[in-house]
Amino acid sequence: MKKQRLKAVALTTVLSAGALMGSVAQADQTIDAILKVGQTKAQSGAQSQQKIDKIAEQTSSLLQDFKTVNKQIEGLRVYNKQLEKQIASQLKVITNLTNSIDQVTVMERQIQPLILRMLDGLEQFVSLDMPFHTAEREERLEMLRNNQERADIPVSEKFRQVLEAYKIESEYGRKIDTYKDTLEIDGQEREVNILRVGRIALMYQTTDTQKSGAYNSSTRQWEAIDSGEFRAAILKGIKIAKKQATIDIMDLPILAPEAAQ
């Protein structure tokens, strides 16, 4: 009887131990399942965090780009305003230039006839003046005439050239000079020294100083003068003009001015 009870107790113990072992095994499986779920969630969480970090980084980069573009836009607005002011100023300058060009065109139409009248007057003046530097003065007038027909020379330059010629003619009246020339004396061509004292007197003296003469503006002829009386004075004037002698008083044959009619 005791043996049967012991067997029963032993069997119960074995069954209890078996049940306990089964419970432990099942618990282990449950824990493993929970751990796997936790691990899966942790991995999912890590991946989600990586995505969040990546999105945050992209958002920060986009924000920075946005700020940069905003600054560029603001700079362009300021630049555009400045350009608008410059364009408005340039349009004003263009308008003024257009008006000036129109005025210049009108002035050119008025200046050209004035230049021609001035040139006519200059030619007449030279033809009536004393005959000094004749070839040089005639060449200058011919050059001015030819330039009037040239299209490559602006009107302003043509006007300047005529004014320059007037200035040269004016300077002749304030200076004393001498140069060599050839004149017909007593029916023969003779080399002479010409002495010009402004437009007051124009004289000649042969290179051997033996014959002298003066230009008579009334008769428009060269006239012989007393070489004995004026020979030394003319020779002295020639030396002064050549800067070979100091300026001094000279007794020269000068015609008295005529009374106006």
- The pLDDT of 3-14, averaged and rounded, is 53
Contact 250, 237 (CB under 8 A): yes
Residues 121 and 209 in one domain: no
* HSE toward the beta carbon, residue 238, CA cutoff 13 A: 19
Fill in the amino acid letter for 119: L
Looking at the 3D structure of the chain, how many domains does it have?
2
- Characterise 48 by phi-psi region: left (phi > 0), alpha (psi -120 to 50), beta (else): alpha
Q: Higher model confidence: residue 71 or residue 97?
A: 71
Coil, strand or helix at 192: strand
Count how many residues are written for the chain.
261
What are 45-56's pLDDT values in tens digits?
Answer: 777 778 887 887
Contacts of 203 (CB under 8 A, 6+ apart): 194, 195, 196, 212, 213, 214, 215, 225, 230, 234, 237, 252, 253
The string of pLDDT tens digits covering residues 174-189 is 899 999 999 998 889 9
Q: Quick check: is 24 in a domain?
A: no
The answer to whether residue 152 is domain-embedded is yes
Domain residue limits at 206: 175-241
Q: Are residues 215 and 142 in the same domain?
A: no
Tens digit of pLDDT for each residue in 68-93? 877 878 777 887 788 778 778 877 77
- Half-sphere exposure in the Cβ direction for 203 (13 Å, CA): 32
260 is a domain residue: no
Domain-located, residue 251: no
Residue with the bigger pLDDT between 54 and 190: it is 190
Residues 187 and 216 in one domain: yes
- The pTM for the full model equals 0.57
Q: What percent of the chain has pLDDT over 70?
A: 80
- Asked, for residue 219, whether it belongs to a domain, the answer is yes
- CA 242 vs. chain centroid, Å, equals 44
Mark whether 181 and 222 lie in a shared domain.
yes
Distances (CA, A) of 153 to 127, 146, 147, 148, 158: 27, 11, 7, 8, 7
Same domain? 156 vs 77? yes
Higher pLDDT, 72 or 135: 135
